[in-house]
Chain A
Amino acid sequence: MSLNRKDLLGLEHLDKKDFQTVLDSVKPFKSLFTRSVKKAPTLIGKTVVTLFYEPSTRTRTSFEIAAKRLSADVVNISVSASSVVKGESLIDTGKTLEAMKADYIIIRHSMAGTPDILARNLSASIINAGDGFHEHPTQGLLDLYTMYEKKKRIEGLKILLVGDILHSRVAKSNIWALTKMGAEVAVAGPPTLIPPQIEGLGVKVHYNLDEAIKEADVVNILRIQLERQQENLFPSVHEYVELYQLTKERLAKAKSGVMVMHPGPMNRGIEISSDVADSQNAVINEQVTNGIAVRMAVLYLLKPTKVKKNASSN
């Protein structure tokens, strides 16, 4: 069982078998959480570095907890307090971390493709924790797992992604994973926030949320970045709320048992109303818990190794 790769840069190049490998691997890691000792010694002696060029609390903390639950040593580097502000290049930073024997480097960067540059230059396993508008693969995998866990299948599920699809790396990773696993994916949002030719990825486009929501088994609400309003990509926050906020009234138009997801952090009262966020339909907290288990599975499946031989012990 393997992902057959050193790095996890995105979900675009993973196939159905890879996604199934991840889905099959997560449950034993999640079962660790119910024990008084929530750790296993799997990655003892390995070093995991989180290198974040953008602020993040939940993703970095999730990776840190995942690595610590597998007994790895974890070092967190915030770029604002690092040599990067003194002008060090990305590759030099990476090579320095590798010289310090980092086994995994988890990177977040505002430029798409940055993790790929590190992966091509270093032997450490590189995990993309979000690059520009490109991908956020572990978020895509944890969303996939949460749907699989709750709905017991992915094939044939109707998934609706709502909001800023254009700037969302979560949306792209979701689309790659879900369409390859046989789900029917649709997006809904203002025309200015839907990427052109997205239909080419096998995705239906809706501009009317009230219509789109009727068929959905799962609604994944994306965070609206309020600075987009200053870029004139939608007329006003008030109008966005009127047309695209997931409210109790809108949710009532969906099938019973519709599942509501949000990758966080939420803007309550903007893309999602508070009563929906706290409703029985929402699995937002389960997404956070699953995020740790999924990241543990990814660290396990990518685990860098030097020698390949058949080991046996009874």
Chain B
Amino acid sequence: MSEIILNAGTFQKAIEKISKEVIEKNKNSKDLAIVGIHNKGVIIAKRIISEITKLSLSEELKIPFGTLDITLYRDDIDDFGSDMPIIKDTVIPFDISKKNIVLVDDVLYTGRTVRAALDVLMDFGRPKSIQLAVLVDRGYRELPIEANYVGVRCLSKENIKVECCETDKEDRVITIK
């Protein structure tokens, strides 16, 4: 039996919570940029941008947005046998130097994806700072990495699946046994 961690309502509240905290921490910054990690991190990042724009009551607000794929930077690539992961586009259409970047992913678990994402970003330049936002923090870190913004904390050794209405039937987060 899978357990529902977030339903459509609490999913949206989690996005709003993260967005408010991002605004609060970066309110005096004109250098905010948001980068989503493929796959679901990209969708969550777009939601956060949309929410920030709404909360800021400014349609003029244009937050630079990028996407990144960490496949080429994974530390477990030998474990995949011959079935290699599909590589998605990494598109950072702005100069990341002097930017305060909020990196967005759906789930934070071991920390290895974020470690790889930091390496990718550093190869694009030297940002002023990098903050991390995740919809779900499921604990059990293998690397010393923590998120600045967390939608929901849920200590779980079970796999967690994030579904978004852009790609799935509805917004929800469930455990998979």
A311 touches B (CB below 8 Å) = yes
A192 touches B (CB below 8 Å) = no
B72 touches A (CB below 8 Å) = yes
Cα–Cα distance between A31 and B88 once the two chains are bound (Å): 11
Name the interface residues of A1-55: CB closer than 8 Å to any CB of B: 1-6, 24-25, 27-29, 31-32, 35-37, 39-42
- B83–A2 touching, CB < 8 Å: yes
Name the interface residues of B74-116: CB closer than 8 Å to any CB of A: 74, 76-91, 105-110, 112-113
Q: How far is the CB of B42 from chain A (nearest CB, A)?
A: 14
B168 touches A (CB below 8 Å) = no
Cα–Cα distance between A32 and B79 once the two chains are bound (Å): 24
Cα–Cα distance between A6 and B81 once the two chains are bound (Å): 11
- B113–A314 touching, CB < 8 Å: yes
- A25–B123 touching, CB < 8 Å: no
- B107–A25 touching, CB < 8 Å: no
Interface size on A, residues (CB 8 A): 33
Q: Name B87's contact: one of A25, A37, A314 (CB within 8 Å).
A: A25
- B90–A1 touching, CB < 8 Å: no
- B107–A311 touching, CB < 8 Å: no
A2 — which chain B residues lie within 8 A by C-beta? 82-84
- B84–A31 touching, CB < 8 Å: no
- B138–A314 touching, CB < 8 Å: yes
- B123–A313 touching, CB < 8 Å: no
- A313–B112 touching, CB < 8 Å: yes
Name the interface residues of B124-177: CB closer than 8 Å to any CB of A: 124-125, 138, 159-160
Cα–Cα distance between A305 and B78 once the two chains are bound (Å): 6
- A31–B113 touching, CB < 8 Å: no
- A300–B84 touching, CB < 8 Å: yes
A307 touches B (CB below 8 Å) = yes
- A1–B123 touching, CB < 8 Å: no
- B83–A307 touching, CB < 8 Å: no
- A40–B80 touching, CB < 8 Å: no
B81 — which chain A residues lie within 8 A by C-beta? 305, 307-309
Q: Name B69's contact: one of A28, A36, A303 (CB within 8 Å).
A: A28
Query: 1/0 per position for B58-78, CB-CB distance to A under 8 A?
Result: 000000000001011110111
Q: How far is the CB of B98 from chain A (nearest CB, A)?
A: 15
A300 — which chain B residues lie within 8 A by C-beta? 72, 84, 87
B123 — which chain A residues lie within 8 A by C-beta? 35-37, 39-40
Q: Name A31's contact: one of B79, B82, B89, B138 (CB within 8 Å).
A: B89
Cα–Cα distance between A314 and B82 once the two chains are bound (Å): 21
A306 touches B (CB below 8 Å) = yes
- A313–B76 touching, CB < 8 Å: yes
- B72–A40 touching, CB < 8 Å: yes
Cα–Cα distance between A4 and B113 once the two chains are bound (Å): 26
A305 — which chain B residues lie within 8 A by C-beta? 78-82
A91 touches B (CB below 8 Å) = no
A301 touches B (CB below 8 Å) = yes
CB-nearest residue of chain B to A4: B82
B84 — which chain A residues lie within 8 A by C-beta? 1-2, 300-301, 303
- B90–A311 touching, CB < 8 Å: no
- A28–B138 touching, CB < 8 Å: no
Q: How far is the CB of B137 from chain A (nearest CB, A)?
A: 10
- B83–A42 touching, CB < 8 Å: no
Query: 1/0 per position for A162-198, CB-CB distance to B under 8 A?
Result: 0000000000000000000000000000000000000
Question: What are 17 A-B contacts with C-beta separation under 8 Å?
Answer: A5-B82, A24-B86, A25-B86, A25-B87, A27-B89, A29-B87, A35-B123, A36-B124, A40-B123, A301-B84, A303-B77, A306-B78, A309-B79, A311-B80, A314-B107, A314-B110, A314-B160
Q: Which residues of A contact B (CB under 8 A)?
A: 1-6, 24-25, 27-29, 31-32, 35-37, 39-42, 70, 300-301, 303, 305-309, 311-314
Q: 7 additional contacts, CB 8 Å, given A1-B86, A311-B79?
A: A2-B83, A28-B72, A37-B124, A305-B80, A306-B78, A314-B109, A314-B110
